[in-house]
């Protein structure tokens, strides 16, 4: 059996980290099992759906490397198919027309509430052997209701929740087509999951109440339902369900803030799944390890500090040339065109940064003027050190422009002026880099244009 999974977003706004995790797991499960990952756009809510939202979904998935093998399929393009299945169900007596008006339904609900009963459709229009149905009202278009089994239980072994059993009595006969003939949500999902031969439905647990209804429709159609895994919610840092309303950011904003796709995958993977105590892993390791048996059962809580830490680890792990590719974007944002030094610059500074944007900031002095703060100038550019700085400027104007050549020039000036390394290195850093804290000075300087360094030292 080939594993087939799907991500089925509704394109009604941007997607945040909680949403994209519902793409990550089915994607990973398909990849881990040499299966097929399908993208299905559930766009039947015409008022709230938009192409712009679809584009944002695709952009986010593309950035994270979660591209589908099939799709996107659009539910709005499958209406004929839904209507065909509806007609087949009608022919088999699996659905029936219900003429109950909205007023009647409201009155029924009120009676049930008053009697402290759960509001539900009472089966007035459900045909039964020997039962007389009410006369069909004139000029009313009926809805179609699914003939839910009356007895027994509907049960499944959820990969997260374990065995779930619902008594059929609890479920009333679901409306699966509106008076104008358009199919309703739960029905479309079943037809799609059936036609797309989905083997594993991995989705948020906000859908768990739909599952028994969907399973009953599957069975009525003579199709074995897929395996279900209902993922616990993702909470924000305040412990609320992550949502746009509660300040969640669009996934692509993390790209713009300098997070690496593989770090995001790593972080999101851990927000609801575990592999022993492993916190940091590559995309390849994740795909080797991912299974549905180690999904967490409690809500995951977003933690930006941890995400930053994970990103910092991935920046260290990423080879310099690849990292350079990710830093080029933020550099261009700063008006800097990257050049051949970029890999070496990344190697030198990556250990100090938790985002590629922060790394790009470190590289600014290599390309743009620096203005050391008055406080740093006052603290480090003392009269005692000025002669040494002038001598260093001369030495650097002539030395071999390599790390070794620069180290030798520094050493010679220290000796000639009776200074210790920090006494000279700190003011040099302030003048050249605009800050007293940098990696090893010879390595920092070697990646500069010689003229820039000499000119900045003369600025003492
Ligand atoms: N369209 C649904 C949503 O965005 C997902 C439905 C499903 O996965 O079955 O929440």
Q: Which residue among 328, 345, 366 closes a domain?
A: 366
Q: Which residue among 366, 386, 421 closes a domain?
A: 366
**For residue 460, what pLDDT is reported?**
79
Identify the weakest region by mean pLDDT among 44-48, 146-150, 212-216, 227-231.
44-48
User: Looking at the domain assignment, is residue 203 inside a domain?
Assistant: no
Residues 267 and 346 in one domain: yes
**Secondary structure element (H or E) that encloses residue 359, with its range:** helix 356-367
Residues 380 and 402 in one domain: yes
5 close to 38: Cβ distance less than 8 angstroms: yes
Residues 320 and 298 in one domain: yes
Q: Tokens for 450, please give them.
A: 């010689």
Alpha helices in 199-341 (DSSP H): 211-220, 251-256, 261-270, 283-289, 304-317, 320-333
Residues 348 and 449 in one domain: no
Average pLDDT over residues 159-163: 97
Q: Is 214 in the pocket of ligand 1 (CB under 6 A)?
A: no
**For residue 405, what pLDDT is reported?**
98
User: Looking at the domain assignment, is residue 319 inside a domain?
Assistant: yes
First to last CA, the chain: 73
Q: Which residue among 366, 386, 408 closes a domain?
A: 366
Average pLDDT over residues 319-323: 97
Average pLDDT over residues 93-118: 94
Q: Is 8 in the pocket of ligand 1 (CB under 6 A)?
A: yes
* CATH number, domain with residue 302: 1.10.1160.10
Is the pTM here over 0.85, yes or no?
yes
pLDDT value at 233 more than 90:
yes
Residues 357 and 271 in one domain: yes
Class of residue 162 by CB neighbours under 10 A (exposed 0-12, middle 13-18, buried 19+):
exposed
403 is catalytic: no
Residues 356 and 274 in one domain: yes
User: Looking at the domain assignment, is residue 381 inside a domain?
Assistant: yes
Residues 308 and 381 in one domain: no
Residues 275 and 348 in one domain: yes
Tell which one of 189, 211, 233 to mutate to probe ligand 1, the residue whose CB is within 8 A of the most ligand atoms.
189
Residues 435 and 350 in one domain: no
Average pLDDT over residues 197-210: 97
**For residue 247, what pLDDT is reported?**
86
Q: Provide the pLDDT confidence category of residue 208 given band limits of 50, 70 and 90.
A: very high
Tell which one of 5, 8, 206 to mutate to probe ligand 1, the residue whose CB is within 8 A of the most ligand atoms.
8
35 close to 29: Cβ distance less than 8 angstroms: yes
How many angstroms is it from 42 CA to the middle of ligand 1? 7
Tally the domains of the chain. Answer: 2
- The single residue of 241, 244, 249, 452 carrying the catalytic annotation is 244
Residues 355 and 384 in one domain: no
**For residue 13, what pLDDT is reported?**
84
Q: Provide the pLDDT confidence category of residue 66 given band limits of 50, 70 and 90.
A: very high
Instruction: Give the residues across from 153 on adjacent strands.
Output: 167
Q: Which has the closest alpha carbon to 210: 258, 164, 252? A: 164
Q: Give the range of the structural domain holding residue 417, as residue numbers without chain letter.
A: 374-457
Residues 450 and 404 in one domain: yes
Q: Tokens for 305, please give them.
A: 């500090």
Residues 312 and 257 in one domain: yes
User: Looking at the domain assignment, is residue 213 inside a domain?
Assistant: no
User: Looking at the domain assignment, is residue 134 inside a domain?
Assistant: no
pLDDT value at 244 more than 90:
no
361 close to 355: Cβ distance less than 8 angstroms: no
């Amino acid at each position: 059996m080939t594993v087939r999974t799907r991500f089925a977003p509704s394109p009604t706004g941007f997607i945040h980290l909680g949403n994209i995790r519902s793409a990550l797991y089915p994607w990973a499960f398909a990849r881990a099992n040499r299966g097929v990952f399908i993208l299905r756009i559930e766009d039947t809510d015409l008022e709230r759906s938009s192409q712009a939202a679809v584009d944002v979904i695709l952009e986010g998935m593309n950035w994270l490397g979660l591209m589908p093998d099939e799709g996107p399929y659009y539910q709005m393009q499958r209406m004929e198919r839904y209507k065909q299945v509806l007609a087949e169900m009608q022919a088999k007596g699996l659905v029936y027309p219900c003429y109950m008006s909205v007023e009647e339904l409201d009155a029924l609900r009120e009676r049930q509430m008053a009697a402290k009963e759960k509001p539900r459709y009472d089966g007035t229009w459900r045909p039964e052997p020997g039962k007389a149905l009410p006369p069909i009202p004139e000029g009313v278009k009926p809805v179609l209701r699914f003939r839910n089994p009356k007895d027994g239980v509907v049960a499944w072994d959820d990969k997260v929740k374990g065995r779930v059993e619902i008594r059929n009595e609890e479920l009333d006969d679901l409306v699966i087509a509106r008076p104008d003939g358009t199919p309703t949500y739960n029905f479309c999902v079943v037809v799609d999951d059936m036609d797309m031969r989905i083997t594993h439905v991995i989705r948020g647990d906000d859908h768990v109440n739909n599952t028994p209804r969907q399973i009953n429709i599957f069975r009525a159609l003579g199709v074995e339902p897929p395996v279900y895994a209902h993922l616990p919610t993702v909470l924000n840092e305040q412990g609320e369900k992550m949502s746009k309303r509660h300040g969640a950011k669009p996934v692509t904003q993390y790209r713009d803030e300098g997070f690496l796709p593989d770090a995001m995958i790593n972080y999101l993977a851990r927000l609801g799944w575990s592999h022993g105590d492993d916190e940091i892993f590559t995309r390849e390791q994740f795909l080797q390890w991912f299974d549905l048996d180690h999904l967490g059962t409690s809500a995951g809580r977003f933690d930006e500090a941890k995400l930053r830490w994970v990103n910092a680890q991935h920046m260290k792990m990423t080879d310099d040339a690849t990292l350079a590719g990710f830093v080029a974007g933020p550099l261009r944002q700063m008006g800097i065109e990257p050049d051949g030094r970029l890999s070496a610059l990344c190697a030198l500074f990556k250990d100090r940064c938790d985002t590629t944007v922060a790394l790009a900031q470190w590289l600014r002095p290599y390309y743009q003027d620096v203005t050391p703060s008055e406080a740093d100038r006052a603290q480090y550019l003392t009269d005692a050190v000025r002669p040494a700085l002038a001598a260093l400027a001369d030495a650097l104007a002539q030395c071999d422009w390599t790390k070794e050549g620069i180290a030798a020039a520094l050493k010679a000036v220290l000796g000639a002026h009776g200074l210790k390394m920090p006494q000279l290195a700190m003011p040099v850093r302030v003048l050249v880099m605009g800050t007293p804290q940098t990696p090893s000075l010879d390595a920092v300087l070697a990646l500069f244009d010689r003229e820039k360094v000499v000119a900045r030292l003369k600025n003492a």
